[in-house]
Amino acid sequence: MLTIKGITKIFNEGTVNENIALSNFSLTLEEGDFVTVIGGNGAGKSTLLNCVAGVYGVNQGSILIGEKDVTKLPEYKRADVIGRVFQDPMKGTAADMGIEENLALAYRRGKIRGLGWGISNKERQIYKNYLSHLDLGLEDRLSDKVGLLSGGQRQALTLLMATLKKPRLLLLDEHTAALDPKTAEKVLKLSDQFVKEGNLTTMMVTHNMRHAIEHGNRLIMMHEGKVILDIKGKEKKDLTVENLLKRFGQASGEEFANDRALLS
Ligand SMILES: Nc1ncnc2c1ncn2[C@@H]1O[C@H](COP(=O)(O)OP(=O)(O)OP(=O)(O)O)[C@@H](O)[C@H]1O
């Protein structure tokens, strides 16, 4: 479903600030794979998601979604097959628009532009039904502005919007990092549910090692723009944070350095 072949991303190439963020990076995900991505400070996790989403072009290598080579496609042309949820709950939804209007934008993606035709009662019913899955009472607040919602409610709504049209690829970019622990667990549970129901191919960057171990069917650890650990199946289920840190040390020859990971 996702084939990343030998991509290299260099920032400020040819200057004193040259920085190789991804170095001949390869990864293949099968349909329905849910991979968690962890790594130390500056390992290249965000750059990887940005390259896959088309925010950044790559210097070398190729990216295929399904059979389609998207390497040269700009972000907006990949957007119809990619759903993305960011760390910042303010991104991904329009604060000044109502909950139902936000959902309508996501629901009509790729069909008609804008909301010129209003929202029919039939559509409203569909949105209520979707929202009831979040179990946050939002189905009774359809016309409330999204800006009134809490960070967790907003992130749950963003998640729903990102998965509504069954994207071929779901990118979760530290999407629970700004939430309190209880809300983060709730949004993670919803993420698992949506991924499972839609059999969505998913990449989740997290700085929380426990989350990386407990979610998904595969875990990769990055270091200096490369994959240094790739753990699947039973081996992943048996992982502990302690064991993961030890394996990082063995694979990289360094101590794990990610301030946020070690604090969480
Ligand atoms: N827009 C940019 N311009 C220049 N350098 C960048 C840019 N974005 C990232 N980098 C550099 O690329 C490297 C990888 O950064 P990236 O943000 O992908 O790491 P990360 O694994 O997400 O780190 P963290 O966990 O600290 O957020 C770092 O050295 C970073 O300074």
pLDDT at site 40:
86
Ligand 1 centre distance from Cα of residue 21 (Å):
6
pLDDT tens string 202-249: 999 999 999 999 999 999 999 999 999 999 999 999 999 989 988 888
| Separation between Cα atoms, residue 257 and residue 36, nearest integer Å | 18
Would you list the domain boundaries of the chain?
A: 2-81+167-263
pLDDT exceeds cutoff 70 at 74: yes
**Which ligand 1 atom sits closest to the C-alpha of 258?**
25
**Which ligand 1 atom sits closest to the C-alpha of 56?**
1
pLDDT tens string 25-72: 999 999 999 999 999 889 999 999 999 999 999 999 999 999 999 999
pLDDT tens string 5-21: 999 999 999 999 999 99
Ligand 1 centre distance from Cα of residue 202 (Å):
21
Q: What is the mean pLDDT of residues 164-181?
A: 93
Ligand 1 centre distance from Cα of residue 189 (Å):
28
Nearest to 169 by CA among 204, 212, 200: 200
| Separation between Cα atoms, residue 102 and residue 245, nearest integer Å | 41
**Which ligand 1 atom sits closest to the C-alpha of 43?**
21
pLDDT at site 113:
57
Q: What is the mean pLDDT of residues 76-92?
A: 91
Counting ligand 1 atoms within 8 A of each CB, the residue from 46, 55, 203 with the most, and so the one to mutate, is 46
pLDDT at site 23:
96
Percent of the chain with pLDDT over 70: 94
pLDDT tens string 240-252: 998 998 888 888 8
> What is the CATH topology of the domain spanning 2-81+167-263?
Rossmann fold (3.40.50)
Ligand 1 centre distance from Cα of residue 48 (Å):
9
Counting ligand 1 atoms within 8 A of each CB, the residue from 47, 208, 222 with the most, and so the one to mutate, is 47
Which residues have any ligand 1 atom within 6 Å of their CB?
Answer: 11-12, 19, 21, 39, 41-47, 207, 258
pLDDT at site 250:
86
Ligand 1 centre distance from Cα of residue 234 (Å):
32
pLDDT at site 256:
73
**Which ligand 1 atom sits closest to the C-alpha of 222?**
21
170 versus 250: the higher-pLDDT residue is 170
Counting ligand 1 atoms within 8 A of each CB, the residue from 8, 45, 56 with the most, and so the one to mutate, is 45
Q: What is the mean pLDDT of residues 60-85?
A: 94
pLDDT exceeds cutoff 60 at 263: no
